[in-house]
Amino acid sequence: MTLLEVRNLEVTYPGGAAAVRGVDLSLAAGQKLGIAGESGCGKSTLALALLRLLPAGTRIGGEVLLDGEDVLTMKWGRVRAVRWAGASIVFQGAMHSLNAVHRVGDQIAEPILLHRKATAAGAKRKVGELLEHVGLPAARASAYPHELSGGQRQRVMIAMALACDPRLIIADEPTTALDVMIQAQILRLIEQLVAEQDLGLIMISHDLAVLADTCDRLAVMYAGRVVEEGPAREIYEDARHPYGKALSEAFPRIGDPASRFAPRGLPGDPPDPAAVPSGCSFHPRCPVALESCAVDDQVLREAGAERRAACVHVAGAGAGASAIAAGADGGPTTAAYGVAGPAGTAGDPPPTAQDTGGPVAGSVEETRGSATSAGEPRSAS
């Protein structure tokens, strides 16, 4: 069975920022899905929405089916259990996620005591096993976060994420703050754990190369939407959407002297999520935009075997896709592209707000899937 099925996920922050707009994703056990996109495209919001870790007042619509159960309509007690035993998140910057005044062992033990109803001795034993599993001596349980290196802290975060044997790990920029050697070690550790335990992995990064190296599949996000998806390595090497292509060219490539010294940048900034451009939201920055792109929105459509892209130039598995690939040498011209497909759905339905959810302490708004209490820490039980 599919481990995670996300259907038409919409997230709008208080104030009107539509950070996630109609995202569909699916993930099987043992699969590794990368979510790529530049800063502000909605990657972290998507991750937080999967476990309802968004601030109070955030509107969230759609479905997040974890093992067939919709996280967005669960009672809060169930959501808290799911956050550890169903799926857990490893955030970037472990120093900010760990509590500075508690020993790391106690922090790892907390969810085990709470959700596994373990005895103190049982939790201690499990903490030791977890630390050793992520490559740290069990004795490091007595360390405070500041006594560990950045890489060790990130290993502690991974141990904590595994504390209640989740089926899905969501890793949000897990290696961004680390040097390249430690980054590689942490990525290999995550891969190893996912393979050993047949977990699902969602890894979020702005770095397409890291995702291509680690993940099976990739979803490229722009302005809150998935604009391209498919096998990770194929997208990295031969993106079909002009944005995916720009993203893959933004990093120097080993073995490609031209890109090493002159990685291509993408002019302009991502749009304000409170005022997303009409038509295809990428059109103001797109080097191959047609006049119609300012008007016609695009939906994901087939762009090769197991690939989809939301671009007017991708007219199916054939001409349009290869035309974008041709742009790698010297940049594509609009004339080189395939025939435009039909316009996609214009605009997005506003997020629905229906009552659900059990009562929780604090100022939680009991609207459909809307958010946890602002006071509830991300790693809270």
Applying CB under 6 A, which residues contact ligand ATP? 13, 15, 17, 19, 37, 39-45, 55, 206, 273
Q: Which is nearer to ligand ATP, 54 or 162 (CB)?
A: 54
Closest CB to ligand ATP among residues 42, 200? 42
At its nearest, how many Å lie between ligand ATP and the CB of residue 41? 4
Whose Cβ is closer to ligand ATP: residue 207's or residue 216's? 207
Nearest residue (CB) to ligand ATP, 107 versus 281: 281
Please provide residue 176's backbone torsions phi and psi, each rounded to the nearest 5 degrees.
-60, -40
**Per-residue three-class SS string for 23-89:** EEEEEECCCEEEEECCCCCCHHHHHHHHCCCCCCCCEEEEEEEECCEEHHHCCHHHHHHHHHHHEEE
Shortest separation between residue 77's beta carbon and ligand ATP, angstroms: 25
Our CB check for ligand ATP shows the closer of 36 and 312 to be: 36
Report the residue number, 155 or 225, with the smaller CB distance to ligand ATP.
225
Please give the Cα distance from 53 to 50 (Å, whole number): 8
Contact 292, 311 (CB under 8 A): no
What is the distance between the alpha carbons of residues 266 and 241, in angstroms, rounded to a whole number?
Answer: 14
- The position carrying tokens 């038409």 is 8
What is the spatial distance between Cα 279 and Cα 265, in angstroms, rounded to a whole number? Answer: 23
Nearest distance from C-beta of residue 208 to ligand ATP, angstroms: 13
The residues, ordered by sequence, that sit 6+ positions from 158 with a Cβ below 8 Å of its Cβ are 90, 134, 174, 186, 189, 190, 193
Nearest approach, Cβ of 204 to ligand ATP (angstroms)? 7
Q: Measured from the CB of residue 88, what is the shortest distance to ligand ATP in angstroms?
A: 18
352 with 368: CB under 8 angstroms? yes
Q: How far is the CB of 89 from ligand ATP (least distance, A)?
A: 13
State residue 218 phi and psi, 5-degree precision. Answer: -135, 140
Closest separation between CB of residue 17 and ligand ATP, Å? 4
Report the Cα–Cα distance between both ends of the chain, in Å, rounded: 27
By C-alpha distance, which of 56, 161, 149 is closest to 107?
Answer: 161
Q: How far is the CB of 38 from ligand ATP (least distance, A)?
A: 7
Cβ-based nearer residue to ligand ATP, 42 or 111: 42
Q: Are 148 and 108 in contact (CB under 8 A)?
A: no
Closest CA to 223 of 277, 171, 142: 277
Nearer to ligand ATP, 207 or 234 (CB): 207
Q: Which of 19, 112, 94 is nearest to 58 (CA)?
A: 19
Antiparallel, parallel or unpaired: β 225-231 and 308-309? antiparallel
Closer Cβ to ligand ATP, 34 or 273, answer by number: 273
Minimum distance of ligand ATP from residue 193's CB (angstroms): 23
Sequence letter at residue 295: V
